[in-house]
Amino acid sequence: MAPKAIIIGSGVAGLSAAIRLAIQGIEVSVYEKNEVAGGKLGSLQKQGYQFDTGPSLFTEPYLLQSLFDLAGERMDDYLTYEKCDDLCHYFFESGKKITAHADIDRFAREMEEQLGEPAEHTKQYLQKAGKLFNSVGDIFLNNSLHKTNTWFHRRVIKALKQVKINHVIGNLDSFNAAAFRTPEAVQLFNRYATYNGSSPYNTPGMLSMIPHVEYNEGVYYPHGGMIKIIEALQSLAEKKGVRFYFNTAVDRIIYNSGSVQGVVVNHQNILADMVISNADIYFTYSHLLGRKVQAQKLLKQPRSSSAIVFYWGIKKTYPALGLHNIFFSNNYKAEFQAIFNKHSVYQDPTVYINITSKKEQGHAPAGSENWFVMVNTAAHTGQDWETLQKETKAAVLKKLQRLLGAEIEKYIEFEQVLNPSLIAGQTWAYEGALYGAASNNKFSAFLRPPNFFKKIKGLYCCGGTVHPGGGIPLCLRSAKISAEIIQRDFLTLKHRP
């Protein structure tokens, strides 16, 4: 008989783990408390507008491709996508603007012409980011850091040779300040700390490898929007025989004598050989396992940032904007202090706007645009989000008026808002943090919880709150690492009495 696996949650990592286990011949059931799959990656359709409600940036499509290859399916039959010519449109308070082109030479030239940053600086930075990502990143993002076989390998020593003193001593801001001459270039590359919900003034210079993914590998747009990624993964999982139970929360994980036995759902025990939790790791410990002390220990690492998102249906088009746009704050340091020290939102926040109707006019009525307007905030620790939302909206509109020279408010014909408290409620993410723990210290990468439980055989976890971290690409890697550990453990499990 095929071994049975239960997956708790159908976020991008839960779906990906389900597919990988089903391919291994395991009978997989996914329990999801919401009525649809996707977790933080969701979608909203209202008044002729379509919005991706969570992630909007799609990189490293090969991670999905390899999943479809493994399943022996053509990815094109499930999901198509295109490479973007422009990565992002940046607007600075100094009045300077820049388009980050996919073509690095063109981007570097633009950095020189618009910002006064020598083109060579940009090219060298991205070249070094690539080397770091392909050596250190390749090992530490694709393997468990909690298994000895990851460390005792020749390639580790080779990779560590790429690590320079300023990658570990000092922070991303000081790393970037040494690499660039202009404050705008430093701010632009400091921004990548937010890709895992951290502050550039605390996170190590090692995170300078992140831009490699966008500039050297590319930014992509999935046709139909980000939600198509979830639809594709769910269809592939169903094709491989995975069973889904929606509107069905797991109440508890059952374990006995150091081995997992199954889960409790609606007061019923459902037995399985292995359980994989895609739920937030804090809740996995505190609620599903009832291990409050261990859960509390996880909180020694502060949570990542969260967000306020305005979904605006705008009855006008703005040719100066593209798919991805950033309007930087006047004082980046103060912005991160407001988020991580004052646990609030900065008064003049950096504003990110994603407009998928720039790619697909069907996502908005004719002559209109669908704006996903996001501002980074602190995680939810009981703030008055209604008030902060109002203040943030006023600040965003003022900023756009200033930097875009255009009025926006009178053209907003649809509005819905997401805030950290709602994110926490919808996806059971502790404090509504987007990426679990922040990487705000040198050791945070090593302090993320592993993908397995040392003291409970047959219990594993995957997703943005465990190794290697949050964001779609890392969640996909997390599912792969868990599935590989399960595959290795499987022989032992199969022979369990």
Options 27-35, 139-147, 213-221, 342-350: segment touching ligand FAD (CB under 6 A): 27-35
Q: Helix 62-70 to helix 12-23 angle, to the nearest 10 degrees?
A: 30
Which of the residues 167 through 206 are near ligand FAD (CB under 6 A)?
none
Nearer to ligand FAD, 434 or 438 (CB): 434
User: Which residue is associated with the tokens 């902060």?
Assistant: 388
Work out which of 3, 14, 205, 450 binds ligand FAD, going by CB under 6 A. Answer: 14
33 touches ligand FAD by CB under 6 A: yes
Q: Smallest gap, in angstroms, from Cβ of residue 119 to ligand FAD?
A: 28
Q: Smallest gap, in angstroms, from Cβ of residue 22 to ligand FAD?
A: 17
Nearer to ligand FAD, 56 or 208 (CB): 56
32 touches ligand FAD by CB under 6 A: yes
Nearer to ligand FAD, 159 or 303 (CB): 303
* Number of residues that this document lists for the chain: 497
Amino acid at 286: S
Q: Compute the C-alpha angle 252/378/476, nearest 5°.
A: 55
Q: Smallest gap, in angstroms, from Cβ of residue 348 to ligand FAD?
A: 20
Nearer to ligand FAD, 180 or 283 (CB): 283
Nearer to ligand FAD, 208 or 427 (CB): 427
Which of the residues 207 through 246 are near ligand FAD (CB under 6 A)?
none
Options 54-62, 144-152, 401-409, 438-446: segment touching ligand FAD (CB under 6 A): 54-62
Options 206-214, 361-369, 382-390, 464-472: segment touching ligand FAD (CB under 6 A): 464-472
Do residues 17 and 462 touch, judged by C-beta distance below 8 A? yes
Nearer to ligand FAD, 129 or 265 (CB): 265
# residues near ligand FAD by CB under 6 A: 36
Which of the residues 424 through 453 are near ligand FAD (CB under 6 A)?
427-429, 434-435
Q: Smallest gap, in angstroms, from Cβ of residue 14 to ligand FAD?
A: 6
Which one, of 21, 99, 73, lies nearest residue 326 by Cα? 99
Distances (CA, A) of 237 to 78, 121, 488: 12, 45, 22
Q: Smallest gap, in angstroms, from Cβ of residue 21 to ligand FAD?
A: 15
Work out which of 3, 55, 225, 322 binds ligand FAD, going by CB under 6 A. Answer: 55
Q: Smallest gap, in angstroms, from Cβ of residue 470 to ligand FAD?
A: 4
Nearer to ligand FAD, 54 or 468 (CB): 54
8 touches ligand FAD by CB under 6 A: yes
11 touches ligand FAD by CB under 6 A: yes
And the tokens for 8?
């708790």
Which of the residues 277 through 306 are near ligand FAD (CB under 6 A)?
278-279
122 touches ligand FAD by CB under 6 A: no
472 touches ligand FAD by CB under 6 A: yes
Options 115-123, 135-143, 318-326, 466-474: segment touching ligand FAD (CB under 6 A): 466-474
Nearer to ligand FAD, 57 or 227 (CB): 57
Q: Could you give the CA distance from residue 455 to residue 381 in angstroms, rounded to a whole number?
A: 31
Instruction: Name beta bridge partners: 6.
Output: 29, 275
Q: Smallest gap, in angstroms, from Cβ of residue 186 to ligand FAD?
A: 22
Cβ neighbors of 86 (< 8 A, separation 6 or more) are: 99, 100, 101, 102, 322, 323, 324
463 touches ligand FAD by CB under 6 A: yes
Nearer to ligand FAD, 11 or 130 (CB): 11
Which of the residues 304 through 333 are near ligand FAD (CB under 6 A)?
307, 309
Work out which of 29, 43, 50, 56 binds ligand FAD, going by CB under 6 A. Answer: 56
CA dihedral angle for residue 288, residue 291, residue 295, residue 297, rounded to 10 degrees: -160
10 touches ligand FAD by CB under 6 A: yes
Work out which of 13, 19, 132, 260 binds ligand FAD, going by CB under 6 A. Answer: 13
Interface residues with ligand FAD (CB under 6 A)?
8-14, 31-34, 39-41, 54-57, 249-250, 278-279, 307, 309, 423, 427-429, 434-435, 463-464, 470-472, 475
